[in-house]
Amino acid sequence: SVIYFLFSGLIGRSWAMVFAAGGFKVKLYDVAQEQLTSALENIRKQMKELEESGFLKGTLSVEQQLALISTCADLKAAVEGATFIQECTPENLELKKKIFGQLDLVVGDNVILSSSTSCLLPSKLFTGLKHVKQCIVSHPVNPPYFVPLVEIVPHPETDPSTIERTYALMKKIGQSPVKLNREIEGFVLNRLQYAVISEAWRLVGEGVMSPTDLDLVMSDGLGMRYAFIGPLETMHLNAEG
């Protein structure tokens, strides 16, 4: 099986669990060894809890999934043999650029370099890298173990095969990938979310409704519909057809 490699914060741990559930070998990389040790302990604990409550993903047992996850504190060794690298560092442009600059020097021409960023544009992250054709954003929704959506956002120079391979991989591990045809500020999930939040602020601020009732409009109304059908399909299937 193929090796995947990530960083060991909250999103990195979640991604590792999703990939391991899909049967892939995962290497977690971090600069601090104690961070890696606690990440593995945390993953083991979460997997045990998921198994007990019947929510463990995939067909493999907890022990089989844990056996697929290893750790590494040396960047060069971590990327060896990797076919897909998912960066999960904090949302800091300079830090992410530094990491991708380091990766750019040590990876070959077949590996995909992917970022978990939720708002930094690919053109800000990857421009000028030697392997820019292999770079992409794969933005998960927290927590990715329970929320399957992944926004796939290309850099203007990303190779179409990078997009297709990333899309196929996300499908294979049971996520629901969506492709953005081009980068746009905020991507799509947050643009939709911010439009709702902005109107919610306005309605509560103007005294039209209490905050509690406003939340009910979403949780016991729109949200129930949107849990299985999108706004465009809703309009398409509305009463007048």
Q: Residue 1's pLDDT band (boundaries 50, 70, 90)?
A: low
Are 17 and 55 in contact, with CB atoms under 8 Å apart?
Answer: no
Closest CA to 173 of 28, 25, 61: 25
CA distance 146 to 120: 23
**CATH value of 2-179 in 3.40.50.970, 3.40.50.300, 3.40.50.720, 3.40.50.2000:** 3.40.50.720
Q: What is the pLDDT of residues 167-192, one digit of tens each?
A: 999 999 999 999 999 999 999 999 99
Angstrom distances, CA of residue 228 to CA of 73, 139, 199, 231, 240: 42, 21, 22, 10, 20
Write the CB contacts of 83 (distance below 8 Å, at least 6 apart in sequence).
2, 3, 4, 110, 111, 112
Q: Is the bond preceding residue 143 a cis peptide, omega within 30 degrees?
A: yes
The ranges assigned to domains in the chain are 2-179, 188-238
pLDDT digits (tens, 9 = 90+) for 127-143: 999 999 999 999 999 88
Residue 239 CB partners (closer than 8 Å, separation 6+): none
- The model's pLDDT over 52-71, given as tens digits with 9 standing for 90+, comes to 999 999 999 999 999 999 99
pLDDT of 187-224, one tens digit each? Answer: 999 999 999 999 999 999 999 999 999 999 999 999 99
Looking only at the bridges linking them, the beta strands covering 149-154 and 176-179 are: parallel
CATH architecture of 188-238: Orthogonal Bundle (1.10)
Strand partners, 86: 114
**How confident is the model over 70-118, as pLDDT tens digits?**
999 999 888 988 999 999 999 999 999 999 999 999 999 999 999 999 9
Give me 46's structure tokens.
């979460």
Task: Report pTM.
Answer: 0.93
Strands laid side by side in the 176-179 sheet = 69-72, 25-29, 3-7, 82-87, 112-115, 135-140, 149-154, 176-179
Q: Is residue 241 very low, low, confident or very high in pLDDT (cuts 50, 70, 90)?
A: low
